[in-house]
A and B are shown apart, each in its own frame.
Chain A
Amino acid sequence: MKKILIVFVTILALAVLVFVGYKKLYLKPSESLPIVLIQPTPSATPVDLKSELNATVDDGGQADFDTLSQDASGL
């Protein structure tokens, strides 16, 4: 019984301290921070990646082989 009373008194004391602290010491923000709009950067979609992958396609060096053939034609 005594224990319950001690716990009850402690909780009550804490509640009073929190309430008084909030009322007397807590300062409400007078100015709000500027609102910044954060726009999410678009993540790479499969279509983007496909076009990126297509950029790795080339002629396999055919132009170079043709030039070499032309250069050798003088022999």
Chain B
Amino acid sequence: MKIIFVVLAFLFVSTVHAEFRTDVKATRASNAAEIKEDRLKLKDDIKERRADFKLKIAKIKDEKKKAIVEKLDIRFNEVNAKRTAQMTKHLDRMSEILGKVTGDTASAGSAIEIAREAVTAQGEKTYVITISTEANLKMDVGKVRSQLEADLKAVNELVKSAREAVKSLLK
């Protein structure tokens, strides 16, 4: 009697576990598909904006201004890559320091991971100048510059928070 009960209990638990695993797998797959779709959309959008930029930059008559805009278009993305690489390096260092610290490191570890995810997402961004008219070039460039600055500052705040979380453990 006991053996039958144990076998039935085992069968029940394994069935529930298998169903749960299938659900988790399905959710993960749908999330991954959504992320992939979003990324593809973003890539298409960037391609479109890049094509528009090339078209409009070709129409600018002032060669000096044209050169500046072209240079800045590259520089924005260079600065983004440089800053995100720097922040990643800092976060790696913080993780190493955290590894040497004893005590409850969970919240600091989670702060580092949140910052790392934000930095990775920032690193994947592409900045393209949307040119309206030749007369408005300064404003158009300024918009992208401000956006880049705001985005990088927001991510940097998360890195700062992670640093503070680690620092609090060293007191």
Contacts and interface: CB of A to CB of B under 8 A. Distances in A.
B138 A53 contact: no
Nearest to B79: A64
Interface stretch (A1-9, A15-23, A30-38, A42-50): A42-50
Interface stretch (B11-19, B28-36, B41-49, B148-156): B148-156
A56 B93 contact: yes
Interface band, chain A: 20 to 34
Nearest to A64: B79
B50 interface: no
Contacts of B90: 56, 58
A25 interface: no
A64 B149 CA distance: 10
B152 A68 contact: no
Nearest to B82: A64
Contacts, number: 68
A68 B72 contact: yes
Contacts of A65: 79, 145, 149
B166 A75 contact: no
A44 B99 CA distance: 11
A57 interface: yes
B141 interface: yes
B170 A69 contact: no
Given A50-B167, A53-B97, A58-B86, A74 B68 contact: yes
B79 A68 contact: yes
Contacts of B141: 72, 75
B65 interface: yes
A64 to B, nearest CB: 5
B149 A53 contact: no
Nearest to B84: A61
B101 interface: yes
Interface in B79-107: 79, 82-83, 86, 90, 93-94, 97, 100-101
Interface of A: 44, 46, 49-50, 52-53, 55-58, 60-61, 64-65, 68-69, 71-72, 74-75
15 contacts: A49-B101, A49-B170, A50-B167, A50-B170, A53-B94, A53-B97, A58-B86, A61-B86, A61-B149, A64-B79, A69-B145, A72-B142, A74-B64, A75-B69, A75-B138
